[in-house]
Amino acid sequence: MAAGSTVLPFSRRREPRVEIRPARSDEPVARTLDEAGFGPHVARLLGYPRDSPDGEILVAATGRSRLVGGACCASFGATGWIGALGVLPRMRRRGVGELLTHAAVEWLEARGARTVLLYATEMGRPVYDRSGFVTEAPARAWRGTPPGPPPSGLRRLRPTDRDAIRELDAACTGETRRPVFDMLPALLGLGFERDGRLAGYTLNTPWGAGPAVIAEDEEAGEALLRGLVLEAQPLTLTVPDDNEAGARILSGWGFQPVNTALRMRHGPPVGHDPTRMFGLFNLFWG
């Protein structure tokens, strides 16, 4: 998990020098990213890049080793994700965000990424534009409660579902998210079965945010979303705008749009199918 460090010289502006390097285990990264705007839940999300052999947390630190920003990386081999990239408000507009972005791209490319992906906030977009990312499409977070009762055709996931989940996931995302699946101690979620095989799943992870919901088509997607009535309410679900069925189902149930983020990529397009993604932001990070 070692990564080289980069030093940004600010002597011209009489600023402390900022170094980008992997976080040490005793550093208060969660507090820094909370203060950078991600809120206290970020502590739980950091569990994956911290514990996975295919993840890393990079920090921006001043000469006195004070953290001023950070970013998370999740490598899936040919693809990789950047998440939770933030800089403390008092240290913004000095190039630290751009430096973190370059370091994260480098870290992922060194592990084989041809394409680096992320979901950008409005604040992040100009930084990523300048760093060579192109915009793909928006996704919207919806908040609300699905109507019950859970429909038939749904069942709890079983340990034997792992291969089917991985296959369905790869067909929809165009990525091999095996590193995340391998870190899951148990498959917590629901499966939708049709003709004796899995046509969709919901999956909770220990790292919060989600659940991830992948479904072959609208029928499976709607059944799975309805089944989420079994979860604590209200729920936040993030769905690509290109999944018109997903947005229609949630708005029809009275879910309210909360915010949007833009999927951006650095490198060639990844053949994914947003119409089969009914819940993002879990399987690191999109």
Ligand X SMILES: CC(C)(COP(=O)(O)OP(=O)(O)OC[C@H]1O[C@@H](n2cnc3c(N)ncnc32)[C@H](O)[C@@H]1OP(=O)(O)O)[C@@H](O)C(=O)NCCC(=O)NCCS
Given the complex with ligand X, which of 120 and 180 has the nearer CB atom?
Answer: 120
CB-nearer residue toward ligand X: 64 or 93? 93
Q: Check residue 97 for interaction with ligand X (CB under 6 A).
A: yes
Chain position whose Cβ is nearest to ligand X: 97
Q: Smallest distance, Å, CB 222 to ligand X?
A: 30
Q: Name residues contacting ligand X, limited to 40-59 (CB under 6 A).
A: none
DSSP H helical ranges for the chain: 29-33, 42-45, 47-51, 96-110, 125-130, 162-173, 178-183, 218-227, 244-252
Strand partners, 198: 193
Q: Give yes or no for residue 121 binding ligand X (CB under 6 A).
A: yes
Query: Quick check: 143 binds ligand X (CB under 6 A)?
Result: no
Q: Is 132 in the site for ligand X (CB under 6 A)?
A: no
Residue 168 burial (10 A CB sphere; 0-12, 13-18, 19+): buried
Report how far residue 38's alpha carbon sits from residue 119's, in angstroms, rounded to the nearest whole number: 13
Residue 267 interacting with ligand X (CB under 6 A): no
Supply the minimum distance, in Å, between the C-beta of residue 54 and ligand X.
20
CB of 37 to ligand X, least distance (A): 4
Binding part of the chain for ligand X, among 95-103, 108-116, 181-189, 217-225 by CB under 6 A, reads 95-103
90 part of the interface to ligand X, by CB under 6 A: no
Using DSSP, state whether 213 is helix, strand or coil.
strand
Q: Compute the least distance from the CB of residue 120 to ligand X, in Å.
A: 4
- In terms of phi and psi (left: phi > 0; alpha: psi -120 to 50; beta: otherwise), the region of 3 is beta
Q: How far apart are CA 123 and CA 125, in angstroms?
A: 6
14 contacts ligand X (rule: CB under 6 A)? no
Rounded Cα gap, residues 278 and 200, in angstroms: 10
Contact call for residues 61 and 67 (beta carbons, < 8 A): yes
Instruction: Name the minimum Å distance from CB 135 to ligand X.
Output: 12
The answer to the question of residue 96 lying near ligand X (CB under 6 A) is yes
Q: Does 62 bind ligand X (CB under 6 A)?
A: no
Determine if 273 is a binding residue for ligand X (CB under 6 A): no
Q: Which stretch binds ligand X (CB under 6 A): 121-129, 184-192, 213-221, 265-273?
A: 121-129
Sequence length of the chain is 286
Phi, psi at residue 211, to the nearest 5°?
A: -70, 160
CB 36 within 8 A of CB 50: no
Q: Which is nearer to ligand X, 110 or 123 (CB)?
A: 123
Q: Does 120 bind ligand X (CB under 6 A)?
A: yes
Task: Answer yes or no whether residue 37 interacts with ligand X by CB under 6 A.
Answer: yes
Q: Which of 37, 150 has the CB closer to ligand X?
A: 37
C-beta atoms surrounding 152 within 10 Å: 7
Give the shortest CB-189-to-ligand X separation in angstroms.
26
- In whole angstroms, how far apart are CA 164 and each of 158, 159, 180, 192, 232? 11, 10, 15, 12, 26
Q: What residues make contact with ligand X under the rule CB under 6 A?
A: 36-37, 85-87, 92-98, 120-121, 123-124, 126-127
